[in-house]
Structures are given as structure tokens and as C-alpha cells.
Amino acid sequence: MRLDNVVKDYGDKRAVNGLSFHVHQGELLCLLGANGAGKTTTIEMCEGFITPTSGEISVLGFNPATHPDAVRERVGIMLQGGGGYNGIKVREMLQLAARYSANPHDPDWLIDILGLGGVAKNTYRRLSGGQQQRLALALAIIGRPNLVFLDEPTAGLDTQSRIAVWELIRALKRDGVAVVLTTHLMDEAEALADNVLIVDHGSQVAMGTPDELTKIASSALISIVCNHEVDEEAFHRAVGVEISAIRPLHYRITMEPTPEAIATITKELARQEVLITQLETSHRNLEDVFLDITGRHLRS
Ligand code: ATP
């Protein structure tokens, strides 16, 4: 699927400001943005629920604005707040959904993998929020869609359920399914995403693999405390980067804390007969990158 310079205005309010991206089969794109960034609006345009003000969207070869039914037949959608029918039991609901598809997943396999076995005979309204969410995921994928939209699929789930959902999402990718996921959870983005698109006030502010993004403006640091003074010039000659004293016996080295970097540093200090009494590394994660780029935390 592909978006080209997509804009959505609500009156004077520009909710989405010229977004472009593509997602290939078997890839996961993560949309990261604070509340109100425009993620839900973007997904709803891809699904044909709302029409862009300008720009082009192609989902599995269809324009969702003009062919919403063709799109919705082929994509799986998991929206925030689920979407079940109150009176029907979990297993019945999945069996019913399976009947709409030529080659559905086995409802019992999904019940098992998502840990819904204990509530398979419960009606939707008796499920906890987390169970409703897992059911919504099962309903989104039971028809083996080629593309799925997952809006905060693990928000509010306990650790065990989150891991089950992550495993399922990885399995979808292995099967060649394209996934568009929104999340507030940085570890989720780092764990699952092939590409991350950071959106702020409707505009793209950064896009790349989690690795590429965490290398942006990298000010990776290694801090050490030593038992006596380091020969800073000799260190610079040997290691190729500067070491600077921030106070007596406390040093800072600005370099990516890779295993090789640490080995090089300790080797040089051993040569200087300096003992490291403390060593600390700071690896920048997506959370830091988000903060650098947008100037705020993802969850305020
Ligand atoms: P969240 O993480 O809270 O779901 P989001 O990134 O999904 O946020 P959107 O729901 O897409 O953000 O909203 C983007 C902006 O558009 C917000 O400022 C929102 O108030 C505005 N907006 C969304 N829907 C409408 C609407 N129907 N009418 C007017 N403004 C709207």
C-alpha cells in the first residue's frame, strides 16, 4: 500500500499534512505520534471511512475513497475499542467471521494462541477490556487478509498477552502480510517494526528503520570512573576519540557503546595501568529520538 502527499482538513484544522509512505507485503510500518498527531485519521483514510482532502492512497491496488468495499474485503482492521456484537459468544463470533472468508484461519487456533480458551463460551459483554482487544485482533486476521491495520493492539494488555500478540504479529509478517500499526509503546515499535514513521501535528518528522532512527543525532555516551588519572592524549591517540574529565577521575567518552568500543577502551586503560571502577553506557532508544525530534514525550 502507498500514500502520496495525503492531506486531511477538518474545517480550519489540518489533521494530516502531506503524509507519504509505502508498506510492502511482509513488512510492518509503525506510526508513532503523540495524541492528536493524526494516526487514526490516516488509518481511517486508508480504510475508506473518510476521504482525503487531497493526495493519493492506494491499498492493495484500490483507491479506498472510491472502492471502500474492495479494500475492506481484503484488509483486516483492528480499531481501538474493539467491535464485537454484545450477545454472541467468543467462539461463535469467530466461527461466524470465518464463514465470510474462503480460506479462514481455524477459530480454535486463534482462541488458543491468543489465550481466549477460558472465555470462548462467554459473550462479548462479559469479556475484560484486554480479552475484547485480543478478540478484536482475532477478528481482524481470521480471514487471512493481505494487509492489517492494528490501532494500539496491545494497549492495556498484561505482559503475557502482549507477548502472545507480538508473536502473532511476527507470524503474520512471516506469512507475507503487510501490517500498519499504531502504538504509544516504544518497545513495541523497536521489537516489531521494519520502518517507523514519526508523525507530529499531522506531518512526517522522521522515517526509517528503528536502527536508523536511533542513530540520528546520536550522542551516545560511555561514562567511566577510574582509580587514577587517565593520560588523555595517549588515550586519544590509541582509541581515536577524546576522553574528557567531567570531574576528577570521572570521564566521558562520546562514542556508540558497542562491545568492540568497550574492549578498545578497557585495553588502552589497562595499558595505562588504570583500573575502571565504574562503567556506564547510554544507548539511545526510540523514546530519546522521539523526544529529540518532537520536543516532547510520547505520552504526556
Ligand atoms: P490518538 O493517539 O489520540 O488516537 P491520533 O494521532 O490518532 O491521536 P487523530 O485522531 O487522527 O490523532 O486526530 C488528529 C487531529 O484531528 C486532532 O487534532 C483531532 O482533534 C482532529 N480531528 C480528528 N477527527 C476530527 C473530526 N471529525 N473533526 C474535527 N477534528 C478532528
CATH topology of domain 2-209: Rossmann fold (3.40.50)
- Phi/psi for 182 (5° steps) reads -110, 145
CA of 39 to the centre of ligand 1 (A): 8
137 closest CA partner among 72, 83, 193, 202: 83
Instruction: Tell me if 2-209 shares its fold with 220-283.
Output: no
Q: Which atom of ligand 1 is nearest to the CA of 37?
A: 6
300 close to ligand 1 (CB < 6 Angstrom): no
Angle between helices 129-141 and 159-174 (to 10 degrees): 10
93 closest CA partner among 125, 129, 47: 125
Confidence (pTM): 0.78
CATH architecture of the domain with residue range 220-283: 2-Layer Sandwich (3.30)
Per-residue pLDDT for the chain (300 aa), expressed as one digit of tens each? 999 999 999 999 999 999 999 999 999 999 998 888 899 899 999 999 999 999 999 999 999 999 999 998 899 998 766 566 678 899 999 999 999 888 999 999 999 999 999 999 999 888 888 898 899 999 999 999 999 999 889 988 888 889 999 999 999 999 999 999 998 888 899 899 999 999 999 999 889 998 888 776 556 678 899 999 999 999 999 999 999 888 889 998 888 888 999 999 999 999 999 999 999 887 667 777 787 777 766 655
Residue nearest to atom 11 of ligand 1 (CA): 38
Q: Which of 17, 39, 43 to mutate to test the pocket of ligand 1 (most atoms within 8 A of CB)?
A: 39
41 close to ligand 1 (CB < 6 Angstrom): yes
Coil, strand or helix: which one is 59? strand
d(CA 140, CA 78): 5
Residue type, 286: L
299 close to ligand 1 (CB < 6 Angstrom): no
Could you tell me the residue ranges of all domains in the chain?
2-209, 220-283
Q: Which atom of ligand 1 is nearest to the CA of 10?
A: 29
CA of 228 to the centre of ligand 1 (A): 57
